[in-house]
Amino acid sequence: MCGITGFIDFKKNTSLATLKDASLQLSHRGTDYNGDFYNTNSNHTIGLSSRRLAIIDTSVNGQQPMVSTCGNYVLIFNGTIYNYKILREKLTALNYSFRSNSDTEVLLACYITWGKETLNIINGVFAFCIYDKIENKIIIARDNLGVKPLFYSYNNNHFSFASEIKALKSYNIELSIDKKSLAFFLKNGYFPNHSSIYKNIKKVKPAEILELDLTTQELTKNKFWQIPEQGSLLKSTNEDEIIKKSHELLKHSILSRTVADAKFGVLLSGGIDSATTAAIVQENSKVPIETFTIGFEDDNLDESASARKIAEHLKTNHNEYILTKKEALETIKCIGRVYDEPMGDSGAIALYAAVNFAKEKVKVLLSSEGGDELFAGYQSYTFAKKWYPVFKFLPKTNLLKFIHPKISSLSSSNSVLDFYNNVNAYFTNEEIDKLIRPSIDVPAEMSSNGDDLNKLLFFDINNYLPEDLLMKADRTCMYWGVENRDALLDKELVSYANQIPESVKLKNNVKKYILKEIAYQYIPKALLSQPKKGFSIPVENWLKTDLKDFVITELKDSSIYGLVDKTMVNFILNQFLQSKRGYYRKIWILLSLKLWANEHLAKK
């Protein structure tokens, strides 16, 4: 696991010192080794740099940038290739001679042997760049589900990329706020999968490959994988067979992510997803594994007792930390330092504390993001399915706006997916129009396929999962120099789960029915029957009490550095202070925007 950055400058003005400064901004992502590749020829200057967190082959032999023995290929790589041992055996049989035991060298050898077909052969998480001197191209790719981040900019004959935005700022990119992306954030709490908070900085999408021709300077973008359409792979709709196959793929997904030469542990929240992950890992371990739980002083949110009972049943070496209100509040106030973009997900606060606690014992953490999106775990899925047919027949009148803006936005939804996104929205489109002047359209939602339930899951897997949950996990873990592994997100499991029909996935309206049936094979049902409270903080309560004065100080009479309309912010703040229902969510988003801006705009 690493932080990577690099550039290609066709004007040949970018120095090695600039590359090193960009790399330094990523030093928290890789504390073990760092290295640079820098070369100038008649056409361009190229620089590649890596900050390495050594997990597989922790020796210097796995150092990056890695140059092939022939000298024609240079690789920098952030991630892990989980099937690297199998691929190594195949390459050895083809007489490839290895210099290290690292998955980095296996990835490089795969590309030398099979070219871009490598992307269909490897199974892992990755963001990498290969300088191919034979083809005179730069090849950049991001993994199938977007676990590993990669940002880029291409302006004025200068192409640059990095694991985090902060490194790109070293290349003196002209930065201005992308109002369309900001509008998307105000509605959804995260940024689109193709763009960032800045106009000139884009994201490599999940399962996307970029090729920069160093002769023509042409940049091309293509998808190398996509989730198969529903029904294209499923051989049987028999419930028992589906559970059996899901179990098989789930075990493979989880256990493949335990490959490491560094110590690892499992985040255990007390819910179905993490409990199943811990159970499968422990069953296949000869020694007690490390599990980690964060508890809260607020009993209404504290799941530590449930997690402790599960850990005792599994006989793990359990570690528990109670996050005090004081610590959590201080973390909220400084959270803008951790993220390059506003962080709308309040779960980042608890995760920040959990990783800080776990880093004293382990270098790798298995988390269980994706269970809700693969197996239908959110209440909003069933709500949307049930109520969209009702709301779409409500009359479109101003009376609905008077009753509540949310009701008006729900009644104007034009599909179950649109309705679902309006249910989860922090701000309605009309409120966003008033916050951002002139009016900016919220980007169109991604199309999907299948039955109504799988349309919603498909959208979240392609958007909410990579750009909120996985982004949160990556930035928070790497801030503390810990590798995060998402135990449930093997591409084969995701492909299969998308095939499962609504009738089985949400049998009798039981959320995560399939995953629960698997979990009960390892853990007594009684230990998993507690209502899920979420790996989160009591945002509403704290905003109304301990954080109230802080919120007023940050938001009153604020345009947040010209990003939003001051009058509208004051209106929202006053509604919140009058305890109007639902306004705490809007305040949290505005506060997260302000805390980010304090760090990244005020210091320009």
- pLDDT confidence of residue 448: 67
CA distances from 76 to 35, 48, 131, 140, 163 (A): 10, 7, 9, 10, 11
317-323: strand order across its sheet? 317-323, 290-296, 264-267, 364-367, 483-486
124-132: strand order across its sheet? 66-67, 73-81, 124-132, 137-142, 208-213, 219-223
3-state secondary structure 193-206: CCECCECCCEECCC
Sign of CA dihedral 535, 548, 406, 561: negative
Give SS3 for 189.
coil
Cα 110 off chain centre by: 26
Alpha helix ranges (H) inside 57-98? 84-93
Kindly provide the b/e burial profile for residues 527-547, where b requires at least 16 CB atoms within 10 angstroms of the residue's own CB: bbeeebbebbbbbbebbbeeb
- pLDDT confidence of residue 261: 84
Angle at 479 between CA 540 and CA 177, to 5 degrees: 70
Task: Give the C-alpha separation, 365 to 389, whole Å.
Answer: 42
What backbone phi and psi angles, to 5 degrees, belong to 187? -80, -45
Give SS3 for 560.
coil
Per residue in 299-316, pLDDT (tens digit) is 666 778 889 999 999 999
The encoded tokens of residue 461 equal 């897997």
The residues of the chain scoring below 70 in pLDDT are: 1, 230-233, 299-301, 395-405, 408, 444-449, 530-536, 603-604
Tell the burial category of 417 from Cβ atoms under 10 Å away from its Cβ (0-12, 13-18, 19+).
buried
- pLDDT confidence of residue 186: 96
Task: Give the C-alpha separation, 586 to 427, whole Å.
Answer: 7
Task: Give the C-alpha separation, 540 to 582, whole Å.
Answer: 9
**One-letter identity of residue 183:** A
For the whole model, what pTM was predicted? 0.94
- pLDDT confidence of residue 399: 46
